[in-house]
Structure 1
Amino acid sequence: MRTWQVDRRKRTRHMIELGALVVKAGIVDLTADDRAIIYGAMLWIAAKLQSHEGDHARDSWARKGKQAFDADRHAEQKGQRA
């Protein structure tokens, strides 16, 4: 396989994983899959990260995301033991 094909597959996988996060967070359902709302929210996030509040937002959102991932992992492990 050529280098550009490998790179393209990596990029595609990365994009699919990011899209899955949008679904996992419930954003698709909450916006009725309105792409303008989703894109607007992402633009708002980007602006927030570029603002003077960026470091605080980044830390807060990272903490919340890690807690959610841990909770999901815990629920999956608990479900496998049942």
Structure 2
Amino acid sequence: MTRTSLAERMSRLEQQKARLAADEARIKNDERKARTRRLIEAGGLVEKAGLLDLEPNALYGALLSLSAGAKDSARVAEWAKAGGHIFDREAKARDAGREPLTVTFAAVLPTPFTTQLRAAGLRWNKVLHHWEGLADHAAVAALAAEHDGKIQRVRPPVDGETRTAAQ
């Protein structure tokens, strides 16, 4: 059995201490980033609710009155339900006229063109080697025509539509 010297044991302990300090710093950094993200989200919600133009004292007072109501779980459930309905309605309005599409191209595309595809709502699928996403068919068809792309609708026809899968 090999005995370790006091210096070796102290060195190992110092290494462990350094690793723990690095882990603690990483955890604090992650917590700080999560808090910053949450604050940004809260600011976005204040803006979305149309409260951003309120005077700071009025906004703070309004938030304090909400804070008092937040202790009532039934009231919080009502707020969550109302907010969920609004988010659902906005998502449906945003996605109106958009449908799941795939687009394939025979040749490699220039970077500025791929930026246009991303702006249209598509993303590159590395596994299947095609562009896919929820997008406006007419807009993507116009883009695909620029580089001889083949566009395909993913979903089946809806509400009595008659179309082929490769339309």
* Structure 1 unpaired stretches of 5+: none
Q: What corresponds to 2:45 in structure 1? A: 21
Structure number having the greater helix percentage: 1
Aligned length: 76
Q: What corresponds to 1:67 in structure 2? A: 85
C-alpha spacing 1:55/1:10, structure 2 compared with 1 (3 Å): closer
Query: Is 1:48 matched with 2:72?
Result: no
Based on CA coordinates, which of the two structures has the bigger radius of gyration? 2
Shift of 1:79: 5.7
Q: Which runs of 4+ in 1 moved over 4 A?
A: none
Q: Distance in 2 between matches of 1:55 and 1:3?
A: 31
Shift of 1:70: 0.4
| TM, length-normalised to structure 1 | 0.77
Q: Distance in 2 between matches of 1:72 and 1:39?
A: 27
Q: What corresponds to 1:35 in structure 2? A: 56
| TM, length-normalised to structure 2 | 0.41
Q: Distance in 2 between matches of 1:79 and 1:36?
A: 42
Secondary structure of the equivalent of 2:70?
helix
Query: Is 1:8 matched with 2:36?
Result: no
Percent identity between matched residues is 36
